[in-house]
Amino acid sequence: MVDITFDPGDVAPPAEVEDVELYHPHSWLTKYVFSQDAKVIAIQYSMTAISIGVVALVLSWLMRLQLGFPGRFSFIDGSNYYQYITMHGMIMVVYLLTALFLGGFGNYLIPLMVGARDMAFPYVNMLSYWVYLLAVLVLTASFFVPGGPTGAGWTLYPPQAILAGTPGSDWGIILMLASLMLFIIGFTMGGLNYVVTVLQARTRGMTLMRLPLTVWGIFTATVMALLAFPGLFVACVMMLFDRVLGTSFFMPAIIAGGEHLKYAGGSPILFQHLFWFFGHPEVYIVAVPAFGIVSDLISTHARKNIFGYRMMVWAIVSIGALSFVVWGHHMYVSGMNPQFGFFFAVTTLIIAVPTAIKVYNWVLTLWRGDIHLEVPMLFALAFIITFVIGGVTGLFLGNVSVDVPLSATMFVVAHFHMVMGVAPILVVFGGIYQWYPKVTGRMLDDTLGRIHFWVTFLGTYAIFFPMHYLGLIGVPRRYYELGDAAFIPPSAATLNAFITIAALIVGAAQIAFFFNLIWSLFKGRAAGGNPWRATTLEWQTPETPPGHGNWGKDLPIVYRWAYDYSVPGAKEDFLPQNQPPLAIPAAIGATS
């Protein structure tokens, strides 16, 4: 879609207001620590998220050791096991994936991709990171308090979450709830930034329908987060009151340890509604930025416009909207009014349609492309495969009556890991290999990247694909040991051991990735400004890494959409978004 309706000389430069003095750093502290530069904040978010993510990764190895070799490790008992799964789950979903996609990728890429100098509210943006860090520290503190962290499951269902039969019900649960509340406050601050920047700070010529899909993905996810997180916030406040003040928002009359507790009249299912009203959009908040990023990885490395861009935008937005009316599919067997089952099954399966359209469009982008199998492209291809598996198993679980035997089994665990733990993480890796050269000015090592890719992709597939079949047998989730179960064949134990070994191998392979990140910082090949020859604005900065203010003296002007790859008649196989159109011949009918 080459825009040829105006002469570049006629475009007035974008109007700019001087930044306030507070925005510019004048000391080492304000340049690298308390920075208001979204690029620095992005790196802070990313490093914090990845660090706490590594903690969660280690917790997963501990869980897998118990599941693969039950009882072999004396330091893993039932109590610890539940603490591991809870912290692993909550960290991965909220503190790693959400923080990394929105706070990490969002902060770095949004201003650059829309042609802005920074986010709309840089000071609040900076504060949002420190609130997030505080949330992470509060959560980490729960490992060190009496009773340890909460072991209530990442879903924190009452009444058990605050009762003595669950580990961490003393202090752990209080710190978890406080940490979540802090996280939500921080992400509201950041989220407002991302939304307002995309809506208001786009440079001249950057219309909404010229935005790269990465921006559409992160933008949509942020809007969803602003609407969904309050549900979790109030649920946390009420549960905290139940725990600390003895209220009964979620607590019915209960016998615990032979004693009648003082609670009465509360509704545990109310918590589930509040939690999942947040929780379902949350998993799409993780997926939707991945959708956007993967579209840009594929189009860049296939040298071809993303197929069906308008449909892709529509699909992202409608997936975002629909994600708010499907939450009951997490509660099919909760005992909620069974009539809800009909409604939520329909909405859940409807959401499969725009999602499938996106998959078709990614694949159709490859068709008649000019495919360069760079490392980010490999990760993008692996995303499609693992996301399709994860997505179709969602069709099983979303179909209410089919969910009845499968819920609370390893089928669910396999599903959500594949669709949320494997697929988006592959996009995180792909995105890091893609944009590392922009952030650092150096390329990541290609050979290490390929080794990392193949072990991670095939390894995680080997972990989670067979796991579905354990669920089909009926192996329940959240069991730290199966004991004697006549309906489970002994070969299931072999499968569990195999999955554990695969998990440990995949874990070890990440060493290659971290080594690559650090080694390439010093020894990586110089990247230049646009090593992938990509069209989007972040690759067109005057400096690499981009300086404070991103664009130097003049903001870019955008003349075309984000996907002018292999335009017929153009000399290069890509046209950057800020490249003006060729001069228009005066005579009608003449060719250029």
Partner 1 sequence: MAIAVAIILALVAVGSVLFHFLSPWWWTPIASNWSRIDDTIIITFWITGFVFTAIVLFMAYCVFRFRHREGNRAAYEPENKKLESWLAIGTALGVAAILAPGLSVWYEYVNVPKGAAEVEVVGQQWLWSFRLPGKAGLLGTSDTKFVSSDNPLGLNPDDRNGRDNLVIIGDDLHLPVGKPVKMLLRSLDVVHDFYVPEFRAKMDLMPGIVTYFWFTPTKIGTFEILCAGFCGVGHPQMRGKVVVEEDKDYQIWLQKQQTFAEMFKLDTTKEKRASVR
The residue among 16, 86, 80, 34 whose CA lies nearest residue 56 is 86
Angle, helix 107-114 to helix 172-200, in steps of 10 degrees: 10
Report DSSP state, residue 249: S
Q: How far is the CB of 558 from partner 1 (least distance, A)?
A: 17
Q: With respect to partner 1, which residue has the nearer C-beta, 33 or 256?
A: 256
**CA distances (Å), 405 to each of 280, 410, 414, 473, 492, in order?**
21, 11, 15, 10, 18
Q: How far is the CB of 529 from partner 1 (least distance, A)?
A: 22
Q: Tokens for 112?
A: 């650059």
Q: How many residues does the chain have?
A: 592
Q: With respect to partner 1, which residue has the nearer C-beta, 364 or 582?
A: 364
Q: With respect to partner 1, which residue has the nearer C-beta, 338 or 547?
A: 338
Q: With respect to partner 1, which residue has the nearer C-beta, 278 or 387?
A: 387
Q: How far is the CB of 349 from partner 1 (least distance, A)?
A: 5
Kindly report the number of other CB atoms within 10 A of residue 129's CB atom: 24
Q: How far is the CB of 382 from partner 1 (least distance, A)?
A: 9
Q: How far is the CB of 357 from partner 1 (least distance, A)?
A: 6
Q: What residues pair up with 560 in beta bridges, in sequence order? A: 2
Amino acid in the structure at residue 302: A
Q: Specify the long-range contacts of residues 338-344, CB closer than 8 Å, at least 24 apart.
A: 341/400, 341/401, 342/400, 344/398, 344/400
54 in Cβ contact with 508 (< 8 Å): no
Q: With respect to partner 1, which residue has the nearer C-beta, 194 or 327?
A: 327
Q: With respect to partner 1, which residue has the nearer C-beta, 39 or 358?
A: 358
Q: Are strands 259-260 and 255-256 parallel, antiparallel or unpaired?
A: antiparallel
Q: How far is the CB of 42 from partner 1 (least distance, A)?
A: 31
Q: With respect to partner 1, which residue has the nearer C-beta, 411 or 551?
A: 411
Is residue 392 exposed (0-12), middle (13-18) or buried (19+ Cβ within 10 Å)?
middle
Q: How far is the CB of 580 from partner 1 (least distance, A)?
A: 19
Q: How far is the CB of 442 from partner 1 (least distance, A)?
A: 24
Q: With respect to partner 1, which residue has the nearer C-beta, 138 or 381?
A: 381
Q: How far is the CB of 518 from partner 1 (least distance, A)?
A: 27
Q: How far is the CB of 491 from partner 1 (least distance, A)?
A: 5
465: left (phi over 0), alpha (psi -120 to 50) or beta: alpha
Q: How far is the CB of 481 from partner 1 (least distance, A)?
A: 6
CA distance 395 to 393: 5
3-class SS of residue 256: strand
63 in Cβ contact with 85 (< 8 Å): yes
Q: With respect to partner 1, which residue has the nearer C-beta, 195 or 418?
A: 418
Give φ, ψ of 442 to 5 degrees.
-130, 155
Handedness of CA 219, 220, 223, 228 (dihedral sign): negative
Q: How far is the CB of 102 from partner 1 (least distance, A)?
A: 29
Q: With respect to partner 1, which residue has the nearer C-beta, 199 or 256?
A: 256
Q: How far is the CB of 55 from partner 1 (least distance, A)?
A: 22
Q: With respect to partner 1, which residue has the nearer C-beta, 161 or 428?
A: 161
Helix (H) or strand (E) holding 322: helix 309-322
Q: Tokens for 309?
A: 């861009």
Q: With respect to partner 1, which residue has the nearer C-beta, 341 or 424?
A: 341
Q: How far is the CB of 387 from partner 1 (least distance, A)?
A: 10
Kindly report the number of other CB atoms within 10 A of residue 530's CB atom: 18
Q: Tokens for 444?
A: 């990541």
CA distance 38 to 554: 19
Q: With respect to partner 1, which residue has the nearer C-beta, 27 or 491?
A: 491
Q: With respect to partner 1, which residue has the nearer C-beta, 320 or 398?
A: 398
Is residue 457 exposed (0-12), middle (13-18) or buried (19+ Cβ within 10 Å)?
buried
535 in Cβ contact with 562 (< 8 Å): yes
Q: Specify the long-range contacts of residues 400-405, CB closer than 8 Å, at least 24 apart.
A: 400/329, 400/332, 400/341, 400/342, 400/344, 400/345, 401/341, 403/329, 403/332, 403/333, 404/332, 404/333, 405/474
CB within 8 Å of 214: residues ≥ 6 apart: 105, 109, 113, 289, 292, 293, 295, 296, 536
Q: How far is the CB of 356 from partner 1 (least distance, A)?
A: 4
Q: With respect to partner 1, which residue has the nearer C-beta, 29 or 208?
A: 208
545 preceded by cis ω (within 30°)?
Answer: yes
